[in-house]
Chain A
Amino acid sequence: MLGAGLILFLAALQGVTELFPVSSLGHAVVVPRLIGLNFNESSPAFVPVLALLHLGTAGALLFLYRRDWVRIIRGFFRAAVRGRIEDPDQRLAMLLVVGTVPAGIIGFLLQDPLKSLFGDPRAASVFLIVNGAILFAAEMFRRRDERRRAQGDTGVLAHEEDDPAYAGIDGLSLRTAVIVGVFQAGALIPGISRSGITMAAGLVAGLRHEEAARFAFLLATPIILAAGLLEVPTLGSDASTLGVGIAAAALAGLLAYASARFLLRYLRLGRLDPFAYYCAALGAAGLVFIH
């Protein structure tokens, strides 16, 4: 049986790291081992708790973008019935569908094999470093593009807010959404961040930083929600954990909401570099200290 303290700690970890581009799965594998917690994320006792944490995080995202989701769902049904896209909401709905399907299929088929293959903390540490490299590479690509446009030096951390040279989500093509969706499947590997790889792909595709994060969060919502809902039947298996699990879900949701708001505000001017350095440092720490 999982202790209440451990569950709440994991909820806090999940809440903060799910939406930051730092890999919540990587943290769940590496951090407990780094601080001396003996914990197996794959243990059957944790599955109901994990489902609740996912529901908490998904709830936070749904609340954050509640008005968007009403328009997106309405837009999906209108476009689906008419067989054509007639407005931006319908277009966004279809972008999210084509972005979600590849990751959903790959995730459903390969989640367990990938977790068992790469669930080792040292492997996750390596992939955290890879995650950092992905974020850094995306920012390098963006900086090079900004320099080319401005024909001058750009600041290390700051970029122009609402830079007209870069697009909102409306500027994404369906093909790009599919590619981003396929890359999202990389997050099945502990250490690779779903939001990180999606934001990186968004930057390379020409989105503004804040819009890349917004697309990443919208794209993540159906998958995180599905991950939670599909495990709902397991919630009744351990009544003693259910109460703590619900509290943990609320904690994860609150922290996810706060971290999403922070990230969106930060990315108006900030870049992904600090997260890249953090992932590299955590990965290196895992390789050095975990045996």
Chain B
Amino acid sequence: MRGSRPLMLAFLILAVVFAAATIFYFTQKTNFLASGRPAVHWKHALVFLALMVLSLVAANFARPKSLRA
């Protein structure tokens, strides 16, 4: 993947969104994007946690060459 600052920032923003979703699902009782009564959906939290990690990996790939170590 060629380095691209906008793409890197997009993935970082995505990672922040997924991090927020992870915290939300771990701590709040809800049935948003989930079936059944409002409850703590730890599976959803784990999925968003995995997506957060992958977004950070993608951001690292998208880092422009000038910013690479």
User: What residues make up the interface of A, taking CB atoms closer than 8 Å to B?
Assistant: 79-84, 97, 101, 104-105, 108-109, 112, 230
Contacts and interface: CB of A to CB of B under 8 A. Distances in A.
Interface of B: 1, 33, 35, 43-44, 46-47, 50-51, 54, 57, 60-61, 63, 68
Majority DSSP secondary structure for residues of A touching B: helix
Contact of A230 (B43, B61, B68): B43
A84 B54 contact: no
What 6 A-B pairs have minimum CB-CB distances, sorted nearest first?
A: A83-B60, A80-B57, A83-B61, A230-B43, A83-B63, A108-B47
Contacts of A84: 1, 61
Chain B interface mostly helix, strand, loop or mixed?
helix
Given A80-B57, A97-B54, A108-B47, 20 more contacts: A79-B61, A81-B60, A82-B60, A83-B60, A83-B61, A83-B63, A83-B68, A84-B1, A84-B61, A97-B57, A101-B51, A101-B54, A104-B47, A104-B50, A105-B47, A105-B51, A108-B43, A112-B35, A230-B43, A230-B46
Contacts of B1: 84
Contacts, number: 26
A80 B60 contact: yes
Contacts of A105: 47, 51
Nearest to B46: A230
Contacts of B68: 83
A176 to B, nearest CB: 15
Contacts of A108: 43-44, 47
Contacts of A112: 35
A241 B35 CA distance: 26
Nearest to B67: A83
A83 B56 CA distance: 10
A82 B1 CA distance: 12
A16 B61 CA distance: 39
A113 B61 CA distance: 35
B59 to A, nearest CB: 9
Residue of A79, A80, A81 with highest tally of chain B CB at under 10 A: A80
Nearest to B53: A80
B64 to A, nearest CB: 10
A88 to B, nearest CB: 17
Contacts of A82: 60
Contacts of B57: 80, 97
Contacts of B46: 230
Interface centre among B33, B50, B63 (most CB of A within 10 A): B50
